[in-house]
Amino acid sequence: MYCKNSDHLKEECGVFGIFGTEEASVLTTLGLHSLQHRGQEGAGIVSFDGNNFHSVRKQGLVGDNFNNTNILSQLPGKTAIGHVRYSTTGESKPENLQPLFANLALGGFACAHNGNLTNTHSVKKRLVESGSIFQTSSDTEIILQLVARSNKKKLIDKLIDTLNQIKGAYSLVILTNKKLIGVRDPFGIRPLVLGDKDGSPVLASETCALDMIGAKYVRDIENGEIVVITEQGIESIKPFKNISERPCIFERIYFASPDSIVGDKTVYTYRKSLGIELAKENNISADVVVPIPDSGVSAALGFSQKSSIPFELGIIRSHYVGRTFIEPSQSIRQFGVKLKHSVNRSCIENKRVILIDDSIVRGTTASKIVKMVYEAGAKEVHLGISCPPIKHPDFYGIDTPNYDELIASKSNIEEMTKLVGAKSLFFLSLNGTYKAMGCKERNKKSPQFTDHCFTGEYPIDISEILKINSTNDHR
Ligand code: AMP
């Protein structure tokens, strides 16, 4: 949940679960490792051994914390779920690491959540006023509290009762003593796929996690679907009114791993098409196309192929620094940009350079890199961005900052060009973005994606979050 001045955490996460196999926690570790790009601040696994639940949650990377047999021996059992996360506001508290676990009247209940709820404040207030005690500042805890308090008899009915009270974006992976459950919110904003590892069902945020463990992709969990996995098989429940899905377009533009398959294509293919569309819309004379790595590489390849301007690796990225946004404070973030990229002078000197990146958020990366490229002797630096200007914050589980920190929400293109210091700055149009996704055009009445970051059209009401944010701003 996005609360600028509170310790509410905004989460950007990956989830994984596997049912009925030896080494469930080892496979979960591997799955989480391949989802590490979805969150690098902390990771956790809960396993069930037939009698007891076991939980290990650690701050830091999966590979640093779950890489030894000691940890894995703490997570026995044939079923496990896991979570990777990071927060960008408030403190990174260990108690907010997931999966969250509670012993409910019906038995143990562990839940891993990707996405953000939008009515946390009002639900939490109601729960606290009626006696609930919260141990974390994570919005996910309200799910456990609501399940615990539901007066329905069966677990699935308690869960449906809960889903009817929460609003927002959620892909959930839940573990009980008999079931592994996957849930996707009514719009299907965040991803969730079903796979099969030698007969054991798998749930994961992205298909790259299935590839990692040698599991077959079965299908996407549909928007508004609950999938219940037991010894008896897999059951699908659709508790909501049927509505058209609106997955988050930014998953394909930036967030998901390039090798993950969404729809029938890899994310890489979509990103390359974004670059192709960008080149179609912008005819610029230059000597080289240079990606801002890693995020701009696929689009730059597409741009270079379409424009016939040679592709060069003019910026080198250090692989020993994490994603720029990963550090919660702005000072560390800026330092991170400098540490992360260096210029490969041989491709740049005396050249007219087109830099390509997937997006501009605060403008930190772009201005640093444009400056570095000029300092390395470029004659001209143009900057192409393979999506429209991000003018509106996300409240559904991807980290983008508040309006006042989003460069495109405060400045027009001319002002942004000055701010980043480039000779020209160009963005892909919204329709070009939809074309790259394989759509003829954006369906205005019923858009195929949620594209609120560009359009400000939020499919799920965010007024409660905006109200809380403005109250916090005036404190
Ligand atoms: P900024 O430097 O603030 O303009 O951020 C833009 C850079 O961050 C680009 O290179 C993007 O690839 C990357 N980026 C965009 N959105 C996100 C996000 N939600 N989390 C982390 N990085 C992002």
pLDDT (tens place) for every residue of the chain, 475 residues total:
333 333 333 458 999 999 999 999 999 999 999 999 999 889 999 999 999 999 999 999 999 999 777 777 999 999 999 999 976 433 567 888 999 999 999 999 999 999 999 999 999 999 999 999 999 989 999 999 999 999 999 999 999 999 999 999 999 999 999 999 999 999 999 999 999 999 999 999 999 999 999 999 999 999 999 999 999 999 999 999 999 999 999 999 999 999 999 988 999 999 999 999 999 999 999 999 999 999 999 999 999 999 999 999 999 998 876 554 445 566 665 555 667 899 999 999 999 999 999 999 999 899 999 999 999 999 999 999 999 999 999 999 987 778 989 999 999 999 999 999 999 999 999 999 999 999 999 999 999 999 999 999 999 999 999 888 877 655 4
Say if residues 116 and 11 touch (Cβ distance below 8 Å).
yes
Pocket test for ligand 1, best of 37, 325, 402, 403 (most atoms within 8 A of CB): 325
What is the residue type of 431? N
Find out whether the beta carbon of 172 lies less than 6 Å from any atom of ligand 1.
no
CATH match of 261-458 with 3.40.50.2020: yes
The residues near 235 (Cβ < 8 Å, ≥ 6 apart) are 227, 228
Find out whether the beta carbon of 141 lies less than 6 Å from any atom of ligand 1.
no
Locate the domains of the chain by residue range.
14-246, 261-458
Domains 14-246 and 261-458 share a fold: no
DSSP reduced 3-state for 419: helix
CATH class of domain segment(s) 14-246: alpha beta
pTM, rounded to two decimals: 0.93
Please give the positions annotated as active site.
Answer: 13
pLDDT single digits (tens) 238-250: 999 999 999 999 9
**What is the whole-number distance in angstroms between the Cα of residue 457 and the centre of ligand 1?**
21
Which residues lie across from 171 on neighbouring strands?
Answer: 114, 184
Say if residues 74 and 20 touch (Cβ distance below 8 Å).
no
CA 90 – CA 94 distance, rounded (Å): 12
Find out whether the beta carbon of 364 lies less than 6 Å from any atom of ligand 1.
yes
CA 125 – CA 311 distance, rounded (Å): 54
